[in-house]
A and B are shown apart, each in its own frame.
Chain A
Amino acid sequence: MRMRLQTLLLACALIFPAGLAGATERVMVGEPDWLGARIMANLIGQIISGELGHPVGYTPRTNAGIFAAMDKGKGEIDIHPDVWSPNQRYLVELYVGQKGSVALSPNSYEGRSGFCLPTVFARAHGIRSIGDLAAPRLRGLLDMDGNGSNDIWIGAEGWASTNIHKVKMRDYGLMESLEQKTDPEPDFLARLDAHLSSGAAAVFYCYTPNYQQIRYALTMLEEPAYDPSDYHVVTPDEESDWFESSRVATRDPVTSIRIAYSLRLEEDFPRVARFLTRIDMEAEDISQLSYAVQVDAQSIPDAISAWIAAHPDRIAAWLRP
């Protein structure tokens, strides 16, 4: 009897290897270390496990590591939840364009960065573009440290974008009008919250998706359209006179954010692959989820679960056969 059972199991394993694999293998989701990526990873993971019934695992990794793991097609990592372009253009070109082992979802949401200020204030003072900040009539209205001069938070020290913003302030001619601040982000955010709550205004570096858009009703100031010829960045590591060597006179390039997945999913988990081609998140969705995590102090899984529960139609559309 025991032998027969073993034989039956062996036969089943031989006849239905894919089925067994599909039933037991996990779909591994890469988990880069920034918030938006972790939110997307968890959203994808919960839908795959909860709606499609496949076990899901999460693997924190760098971009390059995730792409390399997807390229192998062995299930080490199957999904990159948050591929930024053109930031990751080399990886996309390598693994999607050249090797063809990784696919990009057709749908994307946009990531934008710039400088924000409360919409109410902007409307009240007719501020639309970054250049408007140099207007003398605004003197003292955007002063966070109380020294009488307007200041602008251009990002935390150490961020690649912060030095770019230093150059940008210079090239926009705002160095005299605005005092640049590079406090760590948590410190700045704490001060910002208090400042805006008091009814004062502030201008600062912001990006979407981000919970700030939800919390403060911000307006992103207009900048000259992105022009690569006017967007030349030299880092301090590259040159000691990086500041002088750099020129940034346009807005940051708009970033397209998509999902990448290993093509092995199309064979081993076709429903998952189909789902990944249909998922269509908006930047505002990510901002809301970030708000829930950052402001409401929800855990990412809880925030995602709530969001999924609140959007059954969208989930159903993504999972339609």
Chain B
Amino acid sequence: MAAQTILRFFPSLLIAVVILLAIAFAEQQSRHVVLQDKTEQVGAALDNVRSRFERRLNGEIQAVSQLAGSFGTLEGLQQAAFERQTERLLAGRPEVLRTELARDFIVSFIHPLDGNDLRLGLDLRDQPRSIDTLQRMGSTRNARLYGPLMDQSGAQALAIQVPVLSSSADLTVLEGILTVLVDLDILLQQAGVPDPDGQIDYAILFEEEDGAGGGGTVIHGNPEVIAGAPVSSEIVLPQAGWTILARPSVGWETTRAEAWPRWVGLFLLGGLIFVPALAANWYAVSRRQMVMELEAAQERLTGVVHNIPGAVLSYTMPKGSYQPSSDDRIEFVNRESCKLIWGIEAADAEANVMVLWSQMTDEELLEEFFATIIESATSLRPWHHVWPTTLPDGTEKWLDGRGHPTLLPDGSIRWYAVIADATADIERMAELERQQEMAYLAQKNDSIGKLTGGVAHDFNNLLAVVMGNQELLREELKQIAPDRPELFEFIQNTLQATERGADLTRKMLSFAQRARLEPAVLALNDIVRETYTWAGRTMPESIHLETRLGAGLPLVRIDRGSAESALLNLMVNARDAMPEGGTLSVETSTLQLDPQDPACEMQGLEPGPYVRLVVRDTGKGIAPEILPRIFEPFFSTKPPTAGSGLGLSMVQGFMEQSGGSVRITSDLCEGTAVELLFRAQDAVAEQEPVREEPPERQVGKARILLAEDEYDVRKVLAHTLSRAGYELVEVPSGDAAFETFKQSPDFDLLLTDIVMPGTLQGTELASAIRCMAPELPVIFLSGYAADTVEAGAAGELRDIRLSKPVARNELVAAIEDSLGRGPGGMRADLGG
């Protein structure tokens, strides 16, 4: 993070560095300039001092020369005269320390004499200057200047020596040497040294003479001046070559007080440059960051827009317009989606937005859509609309649109809308509704089935009592009134009515899929022929019958009675659909269902070979709106007295129970075709063997434990079986049967109802007893077919399940079979 910040503000840092470097360079230059200024100032002051010093020295030399010239010959010169002359000519010169006049190089006069009298008689030739020099002065008449030297008073002095000459005719005679010591410090003060302002230090380099050749240099003033890189100036006098030095008292370096304003100025200037640069950098960084964020947002938005399953629109309605029109302008539409949704190029839509809405060919729907838009535009509320549209290539779609209006400052309305292809959703919703409807029907059928099953159970018990008693009565009548055939006819009619009642019960249970079927592998054509033969006789002459039975059909596994009943129902329905007459045809054929067949997809059939039975009529047909309901139990298009409404329900139940399906196609005024599809078996139909009537079964001795909660049923069964010769022990419940068996287990067979009051139901009773007598045969009885199935699942394969009502012969046969005395020995299973 820190590295990124540094990188972003690198230009500012660079500028800061450049500014600092510039400031440093400027400071250096400034110091250089200041140094130059100082050098020039000090140099100018030095030249001024040097010039004044030279003038002062020249003035001193002139004064001394004038004094020397005033003496002329020294003959007779007295000290007093010397003093007067000296005072007169050197008056007003405080720098003059001592004036000596040496006659023949011997100091003869001194002024002032006080304090210097010891110098009287001093030989100048003992002085550290060559006698040649003194003699040369006489010939050259030049003054001599040397020093510095220390006066008796301790003052630093320069010595000015001039020859005192006397001239006579053409001869000039050196009379003596006039030496004047002048106070060097006073001379320098008069020249401006030391600096009155104390800002400049001065020093003077004097050169000594030496016979060795090198001479020497002595310094007057502060020796540290030399170490301070002084400026120098040569004091050029005919008598001497000295050097005067000068430097600032505080040195050449800029003092803090001098540098401070310059530094402040430089930093202010740097700040004036840097602050705008920093601001510009900050602005650039911020702008760059904003641009990057915008680019990222744009990228994200583009990603979102490109991945939205639909078209994203931004378009504007002009001010005052609330209804979509060609004046609307599309400002943005994702181009690929435009092509996918509407099948037109985005450019065409941008040229005229109405091409999008004009795909709604239905005027009413278009008006409805426009109304939605107008309402949204006027209320400025979002709109949501789903509408069908037809693409240019004829493809029909459902579109789902959502839009949000925004009122712009100029009064126009900008829409942001998303239009999605909702075709799949709409189709899924329709399918869902259909599935819901089917589920509703299935639930309804299931409820009815349960109700029907319950009714059938009780009804079968009633029928069992009626049938049993009728059969007992018929047996009695054979004993007591064998010559009254009309009585036997009454009983026979009663038994036939009982049989029809049982058949009705079976139909109800078949619809409820609770009928106990006895499927067998059969040839469908045989069933069709037999049913067609006897049912055809019931058809009026106005109906023309046709059969087209396919050859070599595979066998099917079905319950024969149910199949006959189903065919009969379909033929009766066909007959009823043609009150004015028509053609009724029955067809059989083979059919190979593939996985894509609607029967597989919609009805759950397994793909493979099927045998098809079609019953077709040329009747009035079934209206489409009632076609989905025709399988409902008790739903009938016939008059209330014409049928039970259970026919097609039974057929559907039978087919589903048999692993097949039924489907109906019908066109009004053209007729109806009902198609039954049976799963084909591997074997092909052969000639069915002729069935023979079973001989009346002979019974043996057996002790049977009968458990039946219904008193009447139990009594009928007890009578029937007692008459048949069996020894019977009756009990009203499973619990009682179990107790009875424990006390006296010598029973040969258990005959038990399945559903009974108490803790032990039929199947549980059988299991409990078999713990004590595992080989005991058991026959289950039930008025509710499903119970027998459940019993079969709970019991053993050898057990026999019978549905009430059961005829005497069937019951006896079942007992004998269970006891192993029947023709087939012990039966395995009724359903197997």
Among residues 236 to 285 in chain A, which have CB atoms less than 8 Å away from a CB atom of chain B?
236-240, 255, 257
Q: Which residue of chain A has its CB nearest to the CB of B159?
A: A237
Question: Looking at the complex, which one of B118, B127, B208, B210 makes contact with A236 (CB distance below 8 Å)?
Answer: B127
- The answer to whether B210 and A87 have CB atoms under 8 Å apart is yes
- The answer to whether A90 and B211 have CB atoms under 8 Å apart is no
- The answer to whether B127 and A237 have CB atoms under 8 Å apart is yes
B162 interface hit (Cβ, 8 Å): no
- The answer to whether B149 and A98 have CB atoms under 8 Å apart is no
Q: Chain B contacts of A161 at CB under 8 A?
A: 210-212
- The answer to whether B152 and A240 have CB atoms under 8 Å apart is yes
Cα(A184)–Cα(B131), bound, Å: 8
Band of interface residues on B: 35 or more
Chain A CB within 10 Å, residue with most, of B211, B218, B219, B227: B211
Cα(A196)–Cα(B313), bound, Å: 132
- The answer to whether B229 and A99 have CB atoms under 8 Å apart is yes
- The answer to whether B212 and A207 have CB atoms under 8 Å apart is yes
Distance between B154 CB and nearest chain A CB, rounded to angstroms: 9
Among residues 207 to 242 in chain A, which have CB atoms less than 8 Å away from a CB atom of chain B?
207, 234-240
A118 interface hit (Cβ, 8 Å): no
- The answer to whether A64 and B128 have CB atoms under 8 Å apart is no
Cα(A190)–Cα(B665), bound, Å: 169
Q: Which residue of chain B has its CB nearest to the CB of A208?
A: B212
B236 interface hit (Cβ, 8 Å): yes
Q: Chain A contacts of B127 at CB under 8 A?
A: 158, 236-237
Given contacts A71-B232, A98-B226, A99-B229, contact A255 B130 (CB under 8 A): no
Cα(A296)–Cα(B148), bound, Å: 39
A82 interface hit (Cβ, 8 Å): yes
Q: Chain B contacts of A95 at CB under 8 A?
A: 232
- The answer to whether A68 and B232 have CB atoms under 8 Å apart is yes
Band of interface residues on A: 35 or more
Question: Looking at the complex, which one of B126, B150, B207 makes contact with A157 (CB distance below 8 Å)?
Answer: B126
Cα(A239)–Cα(B219), bound, Å: 17
- The answer to whether A63 and B207 have CB atoms under 8 Å apart is yes
Q: Chain A contacts of B824 at CB under 8 A?
A: none
- The answer to whether A90 and B214 have CB atoms under 8 Å apart is no
Among residues 83 to 134 in chain A, which have CB atoms less than 8 Å away from a CB atom of chain B?
84, 87-91, 93-95, 97-99, 111, 113
Q: Chain A contacts of B132 at CB under 8 A?
A: 158, 184
Among residues 66 to 89 in chain A, which have CB atoms less than 8 Å away from a CB atom of chain B?
67-69, 71, 82, 84, 87-89
- Which candidate, A30-38, A138-146, A310-318, is the interface stretch facing chain B? A30-38
Indicate with 1 or 0, residue by residue over B112-147, a CB within 8 angstroms of chain A CB atoms.
000000110000011111111100000000000011
- The answer to whether B205 and A90 have CB atoms under 8 Å apart is yes
Distance between A249 CB and nearest chain B CB, rounded to angstroms: 20
- The answer to whether B150 and A162 have CB atoms under 8 Å apart is no
- The answer to whether B213 and A35 have CB atoms under 8 Å apart is yes
Chain A CB within 10 Å, residue with most, of B147, B205, B218: B205
Question: Looking at the complex, which one of B150, B218, B243 makes contact with A67 (CB distance below 8 Å)?
Answer: B243
- The answer to whether B147 and A237 have CB atoms under 8 Å apart is yes
Chain A CB within 10 Å, residue with most, of B118, B125, B216: B216
Among residues 191 to 236 in chain B, which have CB atoms less than 8 Å away from a CB atom of chain A?
205, 207-219, 223, 226-230, 232-234, 236
- The answer to whether A82 and B126 have CB atoms under 8 Å apart is no
- The answer to whether B234 and A68 have CB atoms under 8 Å apart is yes
Q: Chain B contacts of A63 at CB under 8 A?
A: 207, 215, 217, 241
B245 interface hit (Cβ, 8 Å): yes
- The answer to whether A65 and B241 have CB atoms under 8 Å apart is yes
B242 interface hit (Cβ, 8 Å): yes
Q: Which residue of chain A has its CB nearest to the CB of B209?
A: A160
Given contacts A94-B205, A98-B228, A157-B126, contact A82 B214 (CB under 8 A): yes
Distance between B430 CB and nearest chain A CB, rounded to angstroms: 102
- The answer to whether B212 and A94 have CB atoms under 8 Å apart is no
- The answer to whether B207 and A64 have CB atoms under 8 Å apart is yes
Q: Which residue of chain A has its CB nearest to the CB of B125?
A: A157
Q: Which residue of chain B has its CB nearest to the CB of A85?
A: B214
- The answer to whether A156 and B234 have CB atoms under 8 Å apart is no
Cα(A69)–Cα(B212), bound, Å: 24
Q: Which residue of chain A has its CB nearest to the CB of B206?
A: A64
- The answer to whether A158 and B232 have CB atoms under 8 Å apart is no
A298 interface hit (Cβ, 8 Å): no
Q: Chain B contacts of A113 at CB under 8 A?
A: 212
Cα(A67)–Cα(B217), bound, Å: 12
Cα(A111)–Cα(B211), bound, Å: 13
Distance between B285 CB and nearest chain A CB, rounded to angstroms: 50
Q: Chain A contacts of B152 at CB under 8 A?
A: 239-240
- The answer to whether B226 and A34 have CB atoms under 8 Å apart is no
Question: Looking at the complex, which one of A67, A88, A98, A159 makes contact with B212 (CB distance below 8 Å)?
Answer: A159
Distance between B742 CB and nearest chain A CB, rounded to angstroms: 141
Q: Which residue of chain A has its CB nearest to the CB of B241?
A: A62
Question: Looking at the complex, which one of A62, A91, A185, A235 makes contact with B211 (CB distance below 8 Å)?
Answer: A185
Distance between A292 CB and nearest chain B CB, rounded to angstroms: 17
Q: Which residues of B contact A (CB under 8 A)?
A: 118-119, 125-133, 146-150, 152, 157, 159, 205, 207-219, 223, 226-230, 232-234, 236, 240-243, 245
Extra A-B contacts (5), CB below 8 Å, given A34-B215, A65-B234? A64-B241, A90-B219, A90-B226, A91-B243, A237-B157
When A and B form their complex, which 5 residue pairs have the shortest distance between CB atoms, in order from nearest? Answer: A237-B149, A34-B213, A84-B214, A62-B241, A158-B130
18 pairs, A vs B, C-beta closer than 8 Å: A63-B217, A64-B241, A65-B234, A68-B233, A71-B232, A82-B213, A84-B213, A87-B217, A93-B227, A95-B232, A97-B226, A98-B229, A156-B130, A158-B125, A161-B212, A236-B126, A239-B152, A240-B118
